[in-house]
């Protein structure tokens, strides 16, 4: 898969996922500016907190501790959190307070900058 195919797929995800269909009517009617952006940031913090807690427990408990990041049973938690973080970044770029951001352009810039 080429880099352009990857970016095209990211762009398609960013523009086509059903971002708001699960939100309740009260949330949709809330007039607070940038509520979507703030909501996404809070969700990202929760996901990062979940991952951080697993990592922290790995530092302070035996390796077989059930909630440690090293426990194979926690792989699904890690996979889901990373997938949700990825989708949250795409959504946050769409509802940025300064207007939609084509995140693929900035990913490309970061890759080039880090070479």
- 99 torsion bin: left (phi>0), alpha (psi -120 to 50), beta (else): left
Map out the domains of the chain as residue ranges. 34-114
Average pLDDT over residues 40-45: 93
Supply 103's token pair. 């995140």
Q: Once rounded to an integer, what is the mean pLDDT over residues 24-33? A: 74
The whole-angstrom separation of Cα 51 and Cα 54 is 5
Based on C-alpha coordinates, what's the Rg of the chain? 17
Specify the pLDDT at position 36: 84
Note if the pTM is more than 0.75.
no
pLDDT for 20: 56
């Amino acid at each position: 898969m080429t880099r352009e195919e990857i970016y095209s797929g990211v762009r398609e995800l960013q523009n086509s996922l059903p971002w708001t269909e699960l939100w309740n009517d009260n949330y949709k009617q809330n007039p607070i500016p940038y509520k979507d952006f703030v909501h996404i940031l809070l969700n990202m913090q929760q996901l990062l907190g979940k991952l951080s807690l697993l990592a922290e427990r790995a530092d302070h408990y035996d390796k077989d501790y059930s909630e440690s990041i090293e426990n194979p049973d926690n792989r699904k938690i890690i996979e889901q959190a990373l997938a949700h973080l990825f989708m949250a970044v795409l959504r946050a770029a769409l509802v940025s307070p300064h207007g939609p951001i084509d995140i693929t352009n900035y990913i490309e810039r970061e890759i080039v900058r880090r070479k």
